[in-house]
Amino acid sequence: MRPLTDEETKIFFEKLTKYIGENVRLLVDRPDGAYCFRLHRERVFYISEKLLRHAVSIDRDHLKSIGTCFGKFTKSRKFHLHITALDYLAPYAQYKIWLKPTAEQQFVYGNHIMKSGLGRISESTAKYQGVIVYNMADIPLGFGVAAKATSECRHAEPMAIVCFHQADVGEYIRAEDTLVG
């Protein structure tokens, strides 16, 4: 387990900024203690520094996971967020999409969001902006990328895609073997 390099930090924080904007600093500077991001086996983990001090005594080969996995770097050095980061991203989300109850199941099965399933969308959401997806009861279901701006959504056809699927809570069941290991 090691700290992220400058290039990795830049790529990682650009991805987080796409979803939560300037609130990224709130993840590191928390009132309940110091937290940091560490890289282990191409995965980025969010971990308290107190827990990190204890983890130093564990051999790298024996350490499977520690803290919360935020995502992983691909072989082409792109960063993919995992659904395990949702609980930390949702409170700081700048742009949100709420789904109608009829569209929740489709999204949780890994499908994109159609205009017909859109309940609400944050004002001034730009095209290709990272969004957190909620149900109408304000429970976070996942995250995606807005396929249309807020103004375009108002005049879109019912079967037009308004949000591209990135990750959802259904992945805990569909991809439980690959989320951490």
17 and 40 together in one domain:
yes
pLDDT of residue 27: 87
pTM for the model: 0.88
Bridge partners for 163 per DSSP: 113, 146
Last residue of a domain, one of 62, 88, 114: 88
pLDDT of residue 52: 83
Last residue of a domain, one of 58, 88, 118: 88
68 and 98 together in one domain:
no
Measured from the Cβ of residue 8, the count of other Cβ atoms closer than 10 Å reads: 18
63 and 107 together in one domain:
no
For residue 11, what are the domain limits?
2-88
Dist. CA 171–CA 164, nearest whole Å: 16
Supply angle C-alpha 17, 178, 168, rounded to 5: 50
**With 0-12 CB in 10 A as exposed, 13-18 as middle and 19+ as buried, what is 102?**
exposed
Q: How many domains does the chain have?
A: 2
pLDDT of residue 180: 60
CATH number of the structural domain spanning residue 24: 3.10.450.220
Q: What is the DSSP string of 34-71?
A: EEEEEEETTEEEEEEHHHHHHHTTS-GGG----SEEEE
In a domain, 155, yes or no: yes
In a domain, 181, yes or no: no
Q: Distance of CA 169 to CAs 23, 24, 64, Å? A: 23, 22, 22
In a domain, 35, yes or no: yes
pLDDT of residue 179: 62
64 and 104 together in one domain:
no
Q: Which one-letter DSSP state was computed for residue 156?
A: S
Which among 150, 176, 178 is positioned nearest to 80, based on CA atoms? Answer: 178
pLDDT of residue 15: 93
Q: Could you tell me how far CA 120 lies from the centroid of its own chain?
A: 20
58 and 107 together in one domain:
no
Listed in sequence order, the residues at least 6 apart from 30 whose beta carbon sits closer than 8 Å to its beta carbon are none
pLDDT of residue 150: 93
pLDDT of residue 8: 94
State which residues of the chain have pLDDT below 50. none
Phi, psi of 50 (to 5 degrees): -65, -45
CB contact at 8 A, 50 and 32: no
107 and 75 together in one domain:
no
Dist. CA 119–CA 100, nearest whole Å: 5
Last residue of a domain, one of 33, 60, 88: 88
CATH number of the structural domain spanning residue 98: 2.30.130.10
Place of tokens 């072989």: 75
In a domain, 180, yes or no: no
In a domain, 62, yes or no: yes
